[in-house]
């Protein structure tokens, strides 16, 4: 894989990851394709948005990001004006190249971004905490094919995507402004996507997220009490029971958790405990690519419909409790039946108590059947 860095018209960084780069080849080139050494963004430069801010909720002890400029982000454009497709004479997109393998660039409408080292005045909150939401948000385009899905991609491309996410995790973790790196994909309008083109995102948070904090607090308590790792023991229990295991490969296990919150929820764990994506071996990355595609295809077969989902990598924080963390992927969907979605109602949205209409053992059985 070859990586080449360029700059968009407004100064944002863009990175091309090419699977094939023949001797003397150029970025964005496969076979006989010919591109400029660094494709030029021919759009007029636009002003970057004002840096978003974050505020601390003293009751939940959680940070909330306020990013008003995101109200203006592109929303479900027609395919001929998709900003994630390769550029053409009729559509100068976010990607200047005429084709690509995998591309990563800074988000045009970021929730987190580089910000001036200045303070913001408080707004009358109990605890003065208002500040710039420093960090970084990136978009990762998986394929130039607008109508594809990750389940359609060859295993080699999924492996490339894993390598790209690992590379970007390592790069963002090197920033003093980043405390946690989150890689994810949203698929389907039911989830709330604003662009149909197959893509993911990467957030470099300036704090450790609430979900990670709570899980690692639990892992700390468990290790203090038992001397063992909570994630590893949970994986062992699921493998031993087998009731909810969807598929096991040489290096990974996919299972529906016993206390699944969502109608369709699958967790993918490597058998070897590692803190993050960069720590995976080549063999583990290859094996994941096969397992992940098979699980995505099984999800699409459940209701004979494209399954809307969130695919979320849980990685160790950059600087704290890395010895307790355990890299894993969480797949979840709001679809509970054909024509029926799960919405966060009173118990979930207001109190955080999930009510799942689908028994985890049932969905695990159906996913196993859909694999064959």
What does the block give as tokens for 161? 């995507």
String of b and e for 195-219 (b: at least 16 CB within 10 Å)? Answer: bbbbbbbbbbbbbbbeebbebbeeb
Report the candidate in 113, 96, 112, 88 with the shortest Cα–Cα distance to residue 5: 96
The CA distance from 175 to 134, in Å, is: 11
The CA distance from 55 to 133, in Å, is: 9
The CA distance from 58 to 63, in Å, is: 9
Active site residue 199: yes
Burial class (CB in 10 A: 0-12, 13-18, 19+), 225: exposed
DSSP 347: I
The CA distance from 113 to 54, in Å, is: 11
The CA distance from 233 to 223, in Å, is: 11
Q: What is the dihedral of CA 180, 181, 185, 189, to 10 degrees?
A: 50
Give the number of other CB atoms < 10 A from CB of residue 174: 10
- Tell me if residue 220 falls in helix, strand or coil: helix
User: What separation in angstroms does the CA of 284 have from each of 182, 251, 266, 272, 293?
Assistant: 20, 6, 18, 9, 14
Centroid of chain to Cα 338? 26
Which of 199, 251, 314, 328 is an active site residue? 199
Secondary-structure percent of the chain, ordered helix, strand, coil, rounded to 5: 25, 25, 50
Q: Give residue for tokens 């985890």.
A: 360
Catalytic residue numbers, as ranges: 199
């Amino acid at each position: 894989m070859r990586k080449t860095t360029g700059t968009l018209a407004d100064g944002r960084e863009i990175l091309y990851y090419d699977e094939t780069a023949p001797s003397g080849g150029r970025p964005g080139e496969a076979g006989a394709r010919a591109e400029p050494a660094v494709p030029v963004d021919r759009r007029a430069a636009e002003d970057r948005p004002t840096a978003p801010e974050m505020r601390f909720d003293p009751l939940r002890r959680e940070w909330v990001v306020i990013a008003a400029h995101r109200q203006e982000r592109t929303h479900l454009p027609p395919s001929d004006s998709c900003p994630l497709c390769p550029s053409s004479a009729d559509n100068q997109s976010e990607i200047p190249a005429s084709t690509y393998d995998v591309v990563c660039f800074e988000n045009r409408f970021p929730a987190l971004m580089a910000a001036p080292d200045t303070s913001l005045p408080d707004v009358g909150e109990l605890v003065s905490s208002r500040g710039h939401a420093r960090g970084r948000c990136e978009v990762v385009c998986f394929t130039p094919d607008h109508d594809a899905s990750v389940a359609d991609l060859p295993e080699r491309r999924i492996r490339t995507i894993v390598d790209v996410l690992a590379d970007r995790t390592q790069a963002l973790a090197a920033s003093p402004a980043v405390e946690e790196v989150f890689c994810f994909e949203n698929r389907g309008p039911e989830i709330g996507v604003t662009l149909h083109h197959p893509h993911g995102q990467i957030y470099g948070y300036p704090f450790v997220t609430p979900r990670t904090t709570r899980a690692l607090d639990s892992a700390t308590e468990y290790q203090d009490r038992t001397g063992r790792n909570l994630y590893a023991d949970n994986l062992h229990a699921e493998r031993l029971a087998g009731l909810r295991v969807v598929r096991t490969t040489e290096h990974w296990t996919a299972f529906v958790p016993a206390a699944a919150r969502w109608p369709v929820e699958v967790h993918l764990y490597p058998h070897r405990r590692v803190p993050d994506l960069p720590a995976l071996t080549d063999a583990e990355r290859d094996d994941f690519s096969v397992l992940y595609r098979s699980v995505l295809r099984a999800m699409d077969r459940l209701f004979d419909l494209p399954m809307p989902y969130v695919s979320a990598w849980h990685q160790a924080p950059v600087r704290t409790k890395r010895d307790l963390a355990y890299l894993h992927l969480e797949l979840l969907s709001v679809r509970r039946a054909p024509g029926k979605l799960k919405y966060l109602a009173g118990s979930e949205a207001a109190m955080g108590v999930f009510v799942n209409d689908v028994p985890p053992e049932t969905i695990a059985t159906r996913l196993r059947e859909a694999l064959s």
